[in-house]
Amino acid sequence: MIKIEHLSKTYKRLVLNDISVTFPERQVSVIVGINGSGKTTFLDCVVGLKRPSEGEIWIDSHHNQSDPFKEQVFYIPSDFYLPDYMTGNEYIQFVLARYPNADLDKVDSFFELYDLKEAKNQLLESYSFGMKKKVQIIAAVLSNAPYVLGDEVFNGLDFETTLMTVKLFQALLGHRSFVLISHNMTIINHFCDHIFLMSNGKLVPFTGDASQLEAEVLRTESVHDKITFIQRYATFDDNVSE
C-alpha cells in the first residue's frame, strides 16, 4: 500500500497541510476537489516530481525517492509531454524499458484495442490529445506497475473509450491499484467505494454517495460564492426580461 505521513507543501502559501493517508491495495481510489485545492501537487509529491516541505511517502519499506518505489509506480500527469520526434510504438518501447515486469508482448494488441493500430508507427506530433492519452494508458497498463496514479486520466477520451478503460481498470484490480484525480461523474460513480476529498490543504476519506459529494463541493467557499453570483445574475436577467 501507499502510505503518506504528515505531508505538507508550501509555496507562497500552504498548499498541502499535514496529510496522512493510506491508499489500499487492489482498489481504485478517486481524489475529488476544486481547482487549486492541491490535488496535482499532492500526486506530484507522491511520485517524487516535487519534494514536500515535510513528510514521508512509502510503498511498504521503499521511500518514494528510491528506485524500487519508482519501479512500482506509473504516473499519468494531466499536462504530460510526449516527444514529437518518436512514434507511438517507439515511445511505448522506451517507457516500458524501465519497468522490469513490463508486458511487451501485448503492445500490438493494446494498440488495436485502443484503435491506434494504423497510428502505431506515426510520429506523436500527428496524434490528437485523445490519442496521446490512449498511449499513456497503454503504457501504464503494460508496465505492470502495481500502482497507477493518474491526474484526469479520462480527459480527452470519448465516452466509449472511457467505459472501456473503466472496465479494463476493474479487470486489473486483482493485482493492481489505482489512485485517480477525477471530476468525471462516470468515474466517481463507478469507483465510489474509496473517494477522497481534497479541501483546504487536507485530504480526507468521503463516506457519502455521489450526490452528497456534489453538495459537499458546492459548499466550498469559493464555489458557494460563484453559485451565489449565478443566482443573482439569473434573478437580474429575469427582471430585465420583464
Residues 6+ apart with CB under 8 A from 120: 87, 88, 89, 108, 111
Mean pLDDT by 10 residues, the chain (242 residues): 95 93 92 88 95 94 92 90 94 96 96 96 95 96 96 92 94 94 87 87 83 68 64 65 52
- Tell the residue number behind the cell numbers 472496465, with chain if given: 167
Domains of the chain by residue range: 1-72+146-208, 89-143
Which among 69, 9, 17, 43 has a CA at the least distance from the CA of 202? Answer: 17
Interior CA angle at 234 toward 232 and 237, to 5°? 110
Chosen CATH of 1-72+146-208 out of 3.20.20.140, 1.10.3210.50, 1.10.10.60, 3.40.50.300: 3.40.50.300
pLDDT of residue 214: 67
pLDDT value of residue 102? 96
